[in-house]
Amino acid sequence: MKKFVIFIGAISCISVRAQNLMTPDELNASRGINFDAVEIRVESISSDLHVLFGVGGNVLASIGSQGVLIVDDQFAPLVPKIRSSISALGGGEADFVINTHWHFDHTGGNPLMGAVGSWMVSHINSRQMMTETQVVNLVTALVEQSPYMDQALPVITYEDQMQFYFNGETIDLMHFGPAHTTGDTAVIFRGSNVVHMGDVFNRSGYPFIDADNGGGIDGVILFCESVLQQIETNTIVVPGHGPIGTYTDLADYVAMLREIRERIAILIAGGATLQEVISARPTAEWDEVMGDPQRLLDRAYASLRE
Ligand SMILES: [Zn+2]
């Protein structure tokens, strides 16, 4: 009898996944995104370092005497616009593209970047994820990311940390274990005193944690704390999404996540279901600023239950 129940459960699970599975293009269409209408907005941090906002992950561009290095490249349809923004800032094609992680909204430009000879760089786990089909459980949708063609894959990877010496400064790529995904990189521009956090730090609402692919709330907290130890109190902190922030913004974010994590852990220890955790409103005092907490609670609950 028990086997029969498990069998039925597996079938219904598969059918739910099939119903909700969408491509990144379908997800963008469902969100009403029209790439033709998107304009890239540039905020310059210094004469050499600029943040490009469009749709998808924030792009950080180092444009200097040795060439162009960018962190993340959004979506393929935006690459021509990203290129013209870089050109207006005095740069040519990107020599290097660092992928903070493998998600499609940060790496969608890779095929076009690779086609003109840009070298992609990522954590070893992110490259591995890009070689295979992945399903990202956004809670409100399941997005299927297809394997990347060879020219879109990172050609250089690292495990714990690596350095670039480019455009007059040291650039540290650092990995502190599973967090938003299992392949996150913080990119610290030591001379400019700027860090790009990828999606481990989100300033467009509560963070998304890719718990089905090895991410977890404990790892997000640990990753952010590790970065805080690496940077200065006056370091400029670029999040994966949302406006440019500060050391204090990152520290406040960590404090919030620690508190929420503790509340959820206590509820789980008391036997609470996901629905009971949501009903207990463990994020209540932040919701007005941060928005709907359901996706965070769902993914944090999943990662703490493992
Ligand atoms: Zn992401």
DSSP, collapsed to helix, strand or coil, labels residue 71 as strand
Give 245's strand partners: 237
Quote the distance between the C-alpha of residue 111 and its chain's center: 18
Quick one: pLDDT at residue 4?
A: 42
Q: What is the mean pLDDT of each run of 10 residues along the chain (306 residues)?
A: 42 50 94 95 97 97 98 98 98 98 98 98 98 96 97 98 98 98 98 98 98 98 98 98 98 98 97 97 97 97 91
Q: How far does residue 106's CA lie from ligand 1's centre (Å)?
A: 7
Q: How far does residue 7's CA lie from ligand 1's centre (Å)?
A: 33
Q: How far does residue 14's CA lie from ligand 1's centre (Å)?
A: 24
Quick one: pLDDT at residue 14?
A: 45
Q: How far does residue 100's CA lie from ligand 1's centre (Å)?
A: 9
* Predicted TM-score (pTM) of this structure: 0.93
Quote the distance between the C-alpha of residue 15 and its chain's center: 28
Joined tokens for residue 56: 């998808």
Give 121's strand partners: 98, 156
Q: How far does residue 122's CA lie from ligand 1's centre (Å)?
A: 14
Q: How far does residue 217's CA lie from ligand 1's centre (Å)?
A: 14
How far is the C-alpha of 233 from the C-alpha of 92, rounded, in Å?
33
Q: How far does residue 180's CA lie from ligand 1's centre (Å)?
A: 7
Total count of residues recorded for the chain? 306
Helix ranges (DSSP H) in 217-293: 217-230, 247-269, 274-280, 284-290
Quick one: pLDDT at residue 301?
A: 97
Quick one: pLDDT at residue 7?
A: 43
> Domains along the chain?
16-305 (3.60.15.10)
Quick one: pLDDT at residue 19?
A: 58
Q: How far does residue 113's CA lie from ligand 1's centre (Å)?
A: 19
Angle between helices 294-305 and 247-269 (to 10 degrees): 60
265 residue type, one letter:
A
Give 9's strand partners: none
Quick one: pLDDT at residue 141?
A: 93
Angle at 187 between CA 184 and CA 189, to 5 degrees: 175
Quick one: pLDDT at residue 20?
A: 76
The H or E element that residue 172 is part of is strand 169-174
- If we measure between CA atoms, which residue out of 160, 93, 151, 164 comes closest to residue 120? 151
Joined tokens for residue 302: 């999943």
How far is the C-alpha of 266 from the C-alpha of 218, rounded, in Å?
14
50 residue type, one letter:
H
- If we measure between CA atoms, which residue out of 188, 206, 210, 228 comes closest to residue 60? 188
